Structure 1
């Protein structure tokens, strides 16, 4: 489960936003996690709101002036409402002076209070995607994630099928390694899975017989990627039968659901003499064409259908070949 604490946010964004910890330091261990955010009706971050409080309340000059002019009884009522919400921290922006009521509230309730000289909109724009990534649902899967022709491709398969060896060959052909063995996938958008490598394994690729290889050191900076959106799964499958008896022309798209995101999947049988690196590159190119509306298999089937209809119309019936049968491939 993804979570983040206030101190982590402050340390990671202190330099970028020139943050100053004004009050409520005892609340530095306050955490927020993806389940709490998903179960709450509160917004993650926004300008000061007493009716529907955000997890992070942002104050600029107008909000600070409003609090200073607010009646004491009404202000106290609003502060109590904030105290009962899931308030995580408060950020005073734009160089505005910190209202005494907010400073006292932060110290009393242990709510971290930060200040930043940057405008409120800039603070919100920067923190919203940061929090979205930090709190994104994630899962760890076994496989190898690569950047192949600009597309995030995860190679899967049972242990010993040759995933790492294939990854090494693809890297030697100019593609980039993201993660080997353990791939962390974060759902950063409804239809987007971002893959990255655990810090412990970053830049390394394990190959049987060679051990751990530092890809960055061997192939250079351009051979590795910190993260990549995963768009295609290539599954290496050891055939349990003669490869010639396996389906030659798959007619339907295969997908796999990961964190409720449907990802296109290509299954490649592994056999002696097959150039898997070339097959993976061809699978990526074909998938890119499909994204552009070009379906090679559909074009072939349409051509086959037209040929059958042409022969029937000319009164010259011949053997109707099955496009999925390797013995009846159209010439």
Structure 2
């Protein structure tokens, strides 16, 4: 099976089985349930193979028969001739549709890798970014000690799950690990328990840490319009926090989260 699935949508080709091919979408997984097989069985023996051959073209990534229904020989023959994986499921068509859509939408969603740390602060997903050595992991450690949750450190896999939402997770190789200079790589679950981590979190706020620059303007009154940064086509609220000795970054981020939550409620 070397077929590639590139579209998370599914197709139930009822109209196509009776010759209406205007909206044939062969790049999608084709689902055949009782309705489709019922239509197929009503066709004459001559039309069965002819019409099915127009649906089961080589571009079809796979075809699934639901409800454990018997598979007609025409399906088997065309699948073998054209190299189309022919699968069967005992699930109902509706159940299978729901499960496949969720699975494929997640696996095929646009994604990117962001250098930063993702933490869950008061239930809000905060993506902390900044230059290497600025203190992202150390800040995350302080947040974890304060009862917040680590999602990913150093590298965050960001995925666009729909038109409005981004989710982040850690690559499997560094899941639940936190690198702190001077201490090395820490296993957060062993130090703070399984309740100190989570596998995935929606990203609500981006916090950029940068070195304090004398003479640079920083918002001191909270009157500047909110900043955003666009990731995978979705704008994320952004806060820039200048870093200098003595600043309690974890506390500042907690307040930034609360402030962002208040702004969201007003909108």
TM-score (norm 1): 0.74
1:48 to 10, 13, 23: 13
The RMSD of aligned alpha carbons is 1.7
Higher Cα Rg: structure 1 or 2? Answer: 1
Q: In the TM superposition, what are the counterparts of 1:105-144 in structure 2 within 5 Å? A: 105-144=78-117
Residues 223-268 of structure 1: CA deviation (Å, up to 9, x unaligned): 111110111001111112168x633124111000101100000011
Does 2:178 match 1:205? yes
* Rounded Cα–Cα distance in structure 1 between residues aligned with 2:56 and 2:70: 22
Residue 220 of structure 2 corresponds to which residue in structure 1? 248
Does 2:179 match 1:214? no
- Of Structure 1 and Structure 2, which has the larger fraction of its residues in helix? 1
Q: In the TM superposition, what are the counterparts of 1:165-204 in structure 2 within 5 Å? A: 165-204=138-177
| Structure 1 runs not aligned, ≥5 long | 1-27, 38-42, 295-331
Residue 55 of structure 2 corresponds to which residue in structure 1? 82
* Rounded Cα–Cα distance in structure 2 between residues aligned with 1:188 and 1:214: 28
| Structure 2 runs not aligned, ≥5 long | none
Residue 104 of structure 1 corresponds to which residue in structure 2? 77
2:255 to 270, 274, 282: 282
Does 2:29 match 1:64? no
Residues 251-287 of structure 1: CA deviation (Å, up to 9, x unaligned): 1110001011000000111111111111101010111
* Structure 1 position 69, deviation (Å): 2.8
Contact 1:216–1:223 (Cα < 8 Å) also in 2: yes
Contact 1:53–1:85 (Cα < 8 Å) also in 2: no
TM-score (norm 2): 0.91
Contact 2:111–2:232 (Cα < 8 Å) also in 1: yes
* Structure 1 position 209, deviation (Å): 0.3
